[in-house]
Amino acid sequence: MALTWRVHATLARSSANGPGSRFVVWTQGCSLGCAGCFNPETHAPAGPVRTIPEVVAEVLAAGALDGVTVSGGEPLEQPEALAAFCAALRRGPDLGIVVLTGFARAEIERDPVLAVAVADADMVVAGRYNARLHLGAGLRGSSNKEYWPITARYSAEDFRAVPEGEILVAADGTATITGMHPVTGML
């Protein structure tokens, strides 16, 4: 049976979810329960089911990109799908892969399944969201979250220039607000 992936949403192009122009995947399902989480609609485990080739095809159809960001929900609660997606991207064009997770680096490193899931990423931004340490900047929701470079492709400095939020308006007028510090007050 083909590996499936519960995906909350995708976005073909974003400037507020990592360095440069990026495709974004928000996975569905998170049981970590960080108080003050800004994405509660992604917590329920049930959601749209996709296949890895479908999502990879969406990435390739998006055209020129600097990379792909996988966020959540909690990407590491579907570790096999995340691993397969990153491995499939590695077989394609040169795209930087960023994974945002609520798991801490130590939790990932001591669990072989989680460690394999991020092995093909370039940068993991790791750790529970702590509302008392809210930050927004640099793609860290709170200052306790850690940049964990898996490869030399990105440094923490690359993330400092990432805008805290963005508003994208589609041709039909639909607005999408995204980023680590959504600019809700502007609408």
The contact set with ligand SF4 (CB under 6 A) reads 30, 32-34, 37, 39, 42, 72-74, 102, 128-129
d(CA 76, CA 55): 17
Using the minimum distance from each CB to ligand SF4, give the nearer residue, 30 or 83. 30
Q: Phi-psi bin for 126: left (phi > 0), alpha (psi -120 to 50), beta? A: beta
Using the minimum distance from each CB to ligand SF4, give the nearer residue, 73 or 182. 73
Using the minimum distance from each CB to ligand SF4, give the nearer residue, 32 or 135. 32
**Shortest reach from residue 171's CB to ligand SF4, in Å:** 30
**Shortest reach from residue 55's CB to ligand SF4, in Å:** 19
Using the minimum distance from each CB to ligand SF4, give the nearer residue, 50 or 140. 140
**Shortest reach from residue 42's CB to ligand SF4, in Å:** 6
